[in-house]
Amino acid sequence: MFIKEYIKDIFRAVKSLLTGMNRTGYYFVRPREIITEQYPDNRDTLVLAERFRGEVVMPHDEKNKHACTGCTACELACPNGTIKIITKFDISPEGKKKKALDTFIYHLELCTMCNLCVVACPTDAIKMAQNFEHSVYDRTRLTKKLNNPGSKIREGIE
């Protein structure tokens, strides 16, 4: 019946509006829920979301060894040419030639923090760090070398 539908409509509308007002009212009376970080003031106690992505880094262990094989999977995965990998050939003790990483060049100024390189990496050699204070006075300082000088690939990683 028309009138029945009409009244039902009104009740449904009022109910959905009250649901919304309940949510905003909930936040209004609970200041503890506020998620604003007063950034420069609380720099030491800043809490960042786990999913926040600031820049690509390559973790090195205490013997200055990384896990990058120089396979260029990240370079291929990168949508805007942020990563450039230069490889070299190591001579193993048995006299065999083996492809290895020479320089991992990372253009921070081009990076969109899309995380595709980290996903593509077969050996988990790179990961996303949470540092976001990237401003520098010279543009060239945004082009970074991610592998430390003299670092080597960790044993057992192919």
Q: Is 33 in the site for other proteins (CB under 8 A)?
A: yes
Shortest reach from residue 38's CB to other proteins, in Å: 7
CB of 28 to other proteins, least distance (A): 5
- What is the smallest separation between the CB atom of 74 and other proteins, expressed in angstroms? 37
Task: Look at the block and give the residue holding tokens 């370079």.
Answer: 75
Query: Does 25 interact with other proteins (rule: CB under 8 A)?
Result: yes
**Beta strands 55-57 and 143-145, pairing class:** unpaired
Q: What is the largest CA-CA distance in the chain?
A: 91
Q: How far is the CB of 44 from other proteins (least distance, A)?
A: 19
Contact call for residue 93 and other proteins (CB under 8 A): no
Secondary structure (DSSP) of 64-128: SEE------HHHHH-TT--EEEEEEEEEPTTS-EEEEEEEEEEETTT-----HHHHH-TT---EE
Separation of alpha carbons 114 and 117, rounded Å: 8
Query: From the list 36, 45, 135, 140, which residue makes contact with other proteins (rule: CB under 8 A)?
Result: 36
C-beta of 24 vs 140, nearer to other proteins:
24
Interacting residue ranges for other proteins, rule: CB under 8 A:
10, 17, 20-21, 23-25, 27-28, 31, 33-36, 38
